[in-house]
Amino acid sequence: MTELARLLLVRHGQSVGNVADDEARAAGAHRLDLDYRDADTPLSDTGFTQASAVGSWLAALPDEHRPTVWLTSPYRRAADTAAAALEAARLDATLLTDERLRERDLGILDGFTGHGIRDRFPEEAERRDRIGKFYYRPPGGESWTDVVLRVRYLLTDLRQQYAGERLCVFSHQAVIMGFRVALEQMAEQDILHVDREDPLPNCSVTTYRHGGAALELERYADTTAVERAAAPTTREGSAADEDGR
């Protein structure tokens, strides 16, 4: 077999950045009230509860579905989600880190709300509207297609190193959507429709299984783990201007 047996993609739990983003939008503020750099943004208390819920769900999986390899983004909110999940699952597993799983870099727009971007960077707001969310690259940052490119490189390595294994990956919204583009050959309008109409909840699980010659989508944005634990289900609104932390 030259393909992964199963692939589980877990979005990180709610972060204090997600909370600050919701508060800034509600207040019509230009910037998030947040002192952390993106890589260091921690989980909220709700985020830790969600991560533990995922761990309990993982522990209850049948042996043939439970992951054998564990990877995480180096960003704190994802790494802490992974650590909390493994602790709750009571799994003695090695957690590997890969920087290609980090969240999309927003460059000079980092920390601004859509309202703030339109006020502070009107030319960038106009350029983003003209180019579209999928291809727009903010100065100093990444486009969605940049994220898809690093996901494609990562998948090539994972398939070579872990053929036949079951992988669990803890990462971020834009990266998980990048996996969908790479694995399902989704077109620009299709992935943006999914992102707009069915935004990815915190600690949701997107699952692929080996079918024939390739990985096939089994379930997208599954919140069963969080719901079983009666933990809050949180997500960005469908009208969000930029990707959530």
Q: How far apart are CA 51 and CA 53, in angstroms?
A: 5
pLDDT at position 239 = 41
* Cβ–Cβ < 8 Å for 15, 245: yes
What's the residue count for the chain?
A: 245
pLDDT at position 242 = 55
Question: What's the average pLDDT block by block, 10 residues per block, for the chain (245 residues)?
Answer: 90 97 94 95 97 96 96 98 97 95 97 96 97 97 98 97 97 98 97 95 97 91 94 71 53
Residues 6+ apart with CB under 8 A from 184: 217
Strand order in the sheet with 205-211: 95-97, 69-72, 166-171, 6-11, 205-211, 214-222
Q: How far apart are CA 183 and CA 149, in angstroms?
A: 12
pLDDT at position 238 = 42
pLDDT at position 230 = 86
